[in-house]
Amino acid sequence: MAVKLFLIRHGESDGNVQRKFSGFKDVDLTEKGIWQANRLARRLEGVQVDAVYCSDLKRARHTAEIIFGDRGKDIVASPNLREINFGIWEGMTFEEIKLREGAKFTSWMKNPDEKTIIPQGESLAILNERVMNEVNRILQEHKNEEKDKTIAIICHGGAIRIILCNALNLELKNLWFIKQNSTALNIIEYYDHKGVISLLNDTSHLEDWWERGLKINPEKKKDE
Amino acid sequence: MTIKLLLIRHGESEDNVQRKISGFSNVNLTEKGVWQAKKLKYRLKDMPVDIVYCSDLKRAIHTTNIVFGGRGIDILQKPNLKEVYLGDWESRPFEEIQSREKDRYTSWFENPDEKASAPRGESLADFNDRVMTEVNNILQKNNHGEKDKTIAIVCHGLAIRIVLCNALNLELKNIWYIKQKSTALNIIDYNGSKRFVSLLNDTSHLEDWWKKN
């Protein structure tokens, strides 16, 4: 049977606002990040999920709590779903890293070689192996059953891009062509071994087209 | 300057409902397809769009007129934005092809290489050239001046997947790993030499989570 996998990026974090690289660094959500997670919680209210997993970093756990905390389900936190370990780049801004590393860094951002290991950190290949082992284990655990299942994983921009790359069969060096905003919702539908991407980087819960539409023109609702 | 490219699939068509294969077949939208397009119009009503291009097939033109008509912006029809030509399979039921021409069906719908095609149809590689030449022309034409631009292209499921594959650098053989529903909204942002797929197969305008609150 099919497994529907919801991949959710955490809300805005302190690191995001300060434009600092945070991978393993355990930063908190900002107030805006909490607001974003609440919007997504509202959006997903009516959606049944069979199991929820998250990275064990605070920004992911907090986001998961807000969205799925009141459902009486375990939220399983795993260190394997963490963001890439940025090593010596942790806590530095884009500009600071550029100053320190020069062309090496810009080429990593533009056309990353998956084997390049960030000093004291990870390479994309290492991240890929760590995250995909965990995701495949989770998928394995939930398949071979009678019914379709819906699983949610709340983690990080880099980790989610890796999972999407694997489903698409896209080489990891292309991962920056995929955008991931705060509380982005992505969906992969797995049939047997094949994954189909059915949603990518959707943040319509943060938009106001629907809210404004309903407020300004309540008549509209009847037309629909 | 940046270009925001909205890629929109047409609403549900008669062939979609009857589970028939349509490429060049010039079928109409269903009532549901019209409703879907109206929902998208509502969603996009406050989004400024500079120019709209669409395929010259009825289902795309009709969708375009519903979503963007009445805005006073140019709508240009482009024959090269048509769906892939499916030769002898046009207008025939999926199930019939699947059972009678199993290998050919699989090599197109499940496991295509660039040379794959329907019998007497267009190959994936030729289709890619046709669509990307047009899309690159459109991007080129709009890539001048200081002003950021938003362009909409309204066309078809496989044509949109082609544009997304090119943006992602994804080999065409992986094309079916991407889903496209009726009136799906996709966005690619072009910023100088950089580009991002920033939305894919979003149909939240057809959902009802936001109505309940």
pLDDT digits (tens, 9 = 90+) for B101-128: 999 999 999 989 999 999 999 999 999 9
- B interface with A, Cβ–Cβ < 8 A, is 38-39, 42-47, 167-171, 174, 176-179, 181, 189, 195-202, 204, 209-213
Residues of A annotated as part of the active site: 10, 83
Q: How many domains does chain B have?
A: 1
Q: Which residue of A has its CA nearest to B177?
A: A196
Q: Look up the pTM and report it.
A: 0.94
Task: Grade residue A109 by pLDDT with cuts at 50, 70 and 90.
Answer: confident
The residue type of A196 is V
Average pLDDT value for residue range A184-209: 92
Contact assignment for B211 to A221 by CB distance below 8 Å: yes
Q: How confident is the model at residue B213 (pLDDT cuts 50, 70, 90)?
A: low
| Tokens, residue A5 | 């996998």
Domain assignment of residue B213, yes or no: no
For A175, counting Cβ atoms within 10 Å of its Cβ (0-12 exposed, 13-18 middle, 19+ buried), the class is buried
Put simply, the answer to whether B177 touches A168 (Cβ < 8 Å) is yes
Report chain B's mean pLDDT, rounded to a whole number.
Answer: 95
pLDDT tens column, A51-87: 999 999 999 999 999 999 999 899 999 999 999 999 9
Residues on chain B touching A177 (C-beta within 8 angstroms): 167-169, 195-197
Average pLDDT over residues A196-208: 95
- Residue A220 near chain B (CB below 8 Å): yes
Greatest mean pLDDT among A42-46, B55-59, B192-196: B55-59
Q: Does residue B39 belong to any structural domain of this protein?
A: yes
pLDDT for A223: 38
Q: For residue B161, is it within any domain? A: yes
- Does B133 reside within a domain? yes
Chain A residues with CB inside 8 Å of B211's CB? 210, 214, 221
Q: Which of B201, B208, B212 to mutate to test the interface with A (most CBs of A within 10 A)?
A: B201
Q: pLDDT grade, residue A212 (50/70/90)?
A: low
Which ipTM score applies to this complex? Answer: 0.94
Contacts of A219 in chain B (CB under 8 A): none
> What range defines the domain where residue B20 resides?
2-208
Q: If pLDDT is split at 50, 70 and 90, which confidence band does B212 have?
A: low
d(CA B45, CA A160): 31
* Sequence-distant contacts of B25-31: CB under 8 A, at least 24 apart: B25/B90, B25/B91, B26/B57, B26/B58, B26/B59, B27/B58, B27/B59, B28/B58, B28/B59, B28/B62, B29/B58, B29/B59, B29/B62, B29/B63
Cβ pairs bridging A and B (under 8 Å): 95
Residue B202 covered by a domain = yes
What's B46's domain CATH number?
A: 3.40.50.1240
User: Per the CB < 8 Å rule, is B211 touching A214?
Assistant: yes
At A219 the pLDDT is: 40
Using the predicted structure, report yes or no on whether residue B23 has a pLDDT greater than 90: yes
| Residue A221, pLDDT above cutoff 70 | no
